[in-house]
Amino acid sequence: MPADKEIFVEVRNLHKSFGAQHVLKGVSAKVYKGETLVLLGGSGGGKSVLMKHFIGLLSPDSGEVIVEGENISKMSERRLGKVRRKMGMMFQNGALFDSMTVGQNIAFPLRMGGEKDEAKIQELVSESLEIVRLPNQEAKMPSDLSGGMRKRVALARAIVDRPACVLFDEPHAGLDPITADTIDHLVKDLQSDHGMTNVIVTHEMRSVFRIADRVMFLKEGQVYWVGAPEELKASEDPELSNFIHGRSGEEWDE
Ligand SMILES: Nc1ncnc2c1ncn2[C@@H]1O[C@H](COP(=O)(O)OP(=O)(O)OP(=O)(O)O)[C@@H](O)[C@H]1O
């Protein structure tokens, strides 16, 4: 990354434990404005926990989280609310409310944020559905949608407040390759057409090489490697190359 690139989020020496389990063990990392950063690593390595620190959903035991120059590590909930509005999060499994229509699901963060102007709400919902290429689907119920469509509705909800940054927790999980490709195009469109910064946790290697500007590999609660996808592909580090090729070390019969 060029030295003059602006930083959107920076974390410094983060530590986080849950009970006796030390999950983040001194993580320092930067997310640059306008980039797509992919977090990779084995299950349980702390990727989702790190991402939740970026948006203040978890607070560190020690270390700092700085969003656009503001240290949010010890912020009150009220001030944190303002910072969170800069970011949208697409949670694992989509997590839509089944009893609400698509339109009500997408409008939810706006209403929670105190927006009262119904015309504005409807306009933002409708634009968000257009961005995820599901125009005019407000009245549908989540149960009427395929898995891929649910993910796109979850994405529409994450971007309804026009955040500067979207955090994606395993957006490809459970999707067929073609639907995963649609999600990848949406991610890149958000970046190129709307200037959004994307941070993505995924295990889908094909997507990583399509969408990442930078890759950060976490291992056992620490940043093991950071670099460009081409460098990752060319890496001879067995840890990285076994991961990207899905090799466990056990041999297969020819
Ligand atoms: N709120 C929580 N309370 C207790 N333990 C937690 C909590 N959140 C995460 N953990 C634990 O922290 C560890 C790291 O979890 P995390 O979800 O960050 O892993 P990950 O790298 O995203 O892995 P995966 O690819 O499986 O999602 C796990 O062992 C998990 O059980």
Between CA 234 and CA 227 the distance in angstroms is 11
Whether 111 shows a pLDDT value over 60: the answer reads yes
Residue 140 lies in a domain: yes
- Top mutation candidate among 17, 39, 49 for ligand 1, by most atoms within 8 Å of CB: 49
Among the three residues 115, 146, 162, which one is the final residue of a domain in this structure? Answer: 162
Query: What's the 73 CA to ligand 1 centre distance in angstroms?
Result: 20
pLDDT in tens, 14-52: 999 999 999 999 999 999 999 999 999 998 889 999 999
Query: What's the 37 CA to ligand 1 centre distance in angstroms?
Result: 19
Judgement on whether residues 104 and 128 belong to the same structural domain of the protein: yes
Residue 254 lies in a domain: no
pLDDT in tens, 211-224: 999 999 999 999 99
Judgement on whether residues 61 and 133 belong to the same structural domain of the protein: no
Ligand 1 atom closest to the Cα of residue 19 is: 4
Q: Which tokens is 143 given?
A: 């149960």
- Top mutation candidate among 14, 23, 61, 93 for ligand 1, by most atoms within 8 Å of CB: 23
Say how many domains are in the chain. 2
Judgement on whether residues 80 and 105 belong to the same structural domain of the protein: no
Judgement on whether residues 64 and 168 belong to the same structural domain of the protein: yes
Residue 56 lies in a domain: yes
pTM: 0.93
CB 46 less than 6 A from any atom of ligand 1: yes
ipTM score: 0.95
Q: Can you say whether residue 104 is alpha, beta or left, with left for phi > 0 and alpha for psi between -120 and 50 degrees?
A: alpha
Q: Where are the beta strands (DSSP E) in 33-141?
A: 36-40, 62-67, 70-71, 87-90
Tell me which residue range forms the domain holding 109. Answer: 95-162
Whether 3 shows a pLDDT value over 60: the answer reads no
Residue 239 lies in a domain: yes
CB 41 less than 6 A from any atom of ligand 1: yes
